């Protein structure tokens, strides 16, 4: 029923008169292909596309039900609609025809109007179904493109925001991106799938979002912080959680921001929770954050050697860090023989450091 071509109807009957009648009744509006046996019909269907099959019920050799059953088994023809043609029909036969996968039946000898109308109805339904499938595919593709565009916009917005935060401190430029990268590496080693890895990456990117509310003078102070200044520094965790909390579609973002400075032994902040009470993702980010702090230049020291970093991670295992995630980081360090993990995959020349400690 497509505008560009006539529908193709395959008529299958061992009676030449019946085939002639089908061609005469339907030939003006459709292209009618005629076959006199089930075997030749299946061969044609295997090599050609048709819109409808008119299939005789009683044929020598391979009858209509056998042909229909074979059609439904074969991938290339299983969805072609079939109308059964038969001289006799009762409730039992009608039921078996529909159960076998036929869409309708017509009685022989044909009433021209009945054959035309039933054929027309089936072809119209198939046309609508075919175009509905095409529309579903088209709308799905459009939705996927919109989603991809939204994700790109989200990623670009987050990255711009992260760079703004990191730029407040000349010693932390690139920190958030590196923490996100290490967080993803740890998640991958933990066996997480791609969707979860992307989730962890975003949590790592935004873990320090609260620093936007910390005065630059405190962030950039090179001397020892006062108790009051250190309290302001620590408040970036709760501020970050409050900033991210309204993003209801991604509730874990606020968890990473709030809890990445909690310690396994309970001596962290802001809540002083310990062990498995600390959200799992925050425990992972904490190790990534500490690794970047130690492998980045600071105002009071240079970049730590990889072996010393390993020693510090091992020392903090079970006190500062979840032992499981500490072990994952140690395994990453051990595999990083040439100390290449430190290179920022986004900006290899970026220098960075974790937040300033009190001392």
* 8 Å CB contact between 313 and 286: no
Considering the candidates 120, 211, 245, 252, report the single residue annotated as catalytic.
211
Cα–Cα nearest to 32, from 11, 5, 17, 15: 11
* 8 Å CB contact between 204 and 184: yes
Give the CA distances from residue 60 to residues 13, 14, 71, 312, in Å, rounded to whole numbers and listed in that order: 10, 8, 18, 85
User: How many CB atoms are located within 10 Å of the residue 76 CB?
Assistant: 12
Torsion, Cα 271 272 278 283, to 10 degrees, reads 110
Burial of 338 (C-beta count, 10 Å sphere; 0-12/13-18/19+):
exposed
- Is 337 in the active site? no
User: How many CB atoms are located within 10 Å of the residue 226 CB?
Assistant: 12
Burial of 181 (C-beta count, 10 Å sphere; 0-12/13-18/19+):
buried
8-state DSSP, 78: T
Q: Which helix (H) or strand (E) holds 229?
A: helix 227-234
Report the C-alpha gap between 308 and 292 in whole angstroms.
13
8-state DSSP, 31: E
User: What positions carry a catalytic annotation?
Assistant: 211
């Amino acid at each position: 029923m497509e505008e560009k071509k006539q529908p193709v109807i395959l008529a299958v009957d061992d009676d030449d008169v019946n085939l002639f009648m089908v061609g005469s009744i339907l030939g003006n509006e459709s292209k009618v292909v005629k076959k006199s046996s089930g075997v030749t019909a299946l061969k044609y269907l295997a090599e050609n596309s048709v819109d409808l099959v008119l299939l005789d019920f009683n044929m020598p050799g391979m009858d209509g039900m056998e042909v229909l059953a074979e059609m439904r088994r074969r991938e290339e023809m299983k969805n072609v609609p079939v109308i059964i043609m038969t001289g006799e029909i009762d409730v039992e036969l009608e039921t078996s025809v529909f159960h076998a996968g036929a869409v309708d039946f017509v009685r022989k000898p044909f009433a021209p109007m009945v054959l035309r109308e039933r054929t027309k109805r089936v072809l119209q339904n198939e046309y609508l179904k075919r175009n509905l499938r095409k529309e579903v595919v088209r709308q799905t593709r459009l939705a996927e493109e919109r989603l991809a565009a939204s994700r790109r916009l989200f990623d670009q917005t987050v990255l711009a925001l992260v760079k703004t935060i990191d730029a407040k401190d000349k010693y932390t430029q690139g920190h958030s991106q590196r923490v996100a990268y290490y967080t993803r590496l740890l998640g991958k080693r933990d066996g997480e799938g791609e969707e979860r890895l992307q989730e962890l990456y975003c949590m790592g990117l935004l873990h320090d979002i609260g620093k936007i509310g910390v005065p630059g003078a405190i962030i950039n102070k090179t001397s020892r912080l006062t108790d009051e200044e250190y309290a302001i520094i620590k408040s970036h965790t709760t501020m970050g959680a409050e900033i991210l909390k309204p993003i209801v579609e991604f509730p874990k973002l606020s968890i990473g921001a709030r809890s990445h400075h909690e310690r396994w032994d309970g001596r962290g902040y802001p809540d002083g929770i310990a062990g498995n009470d600390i959200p799992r993702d925050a425990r992972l980010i904490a190790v990534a954050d500490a690794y970047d702090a130690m492998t980045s230049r600071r105002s009071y020291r240079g970049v730590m050697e990889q072996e010393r970093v390993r020693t510090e991670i091992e020392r903090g295992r079970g006190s500062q860090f979840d032992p499981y995630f500490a072990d994952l980081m140690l395994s990453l360090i051990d595999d990083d023989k040439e100390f290449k993990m430190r290179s920022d995959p986004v900006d290899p020349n970026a220098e960075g450091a974790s937040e300033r400690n009190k001392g």
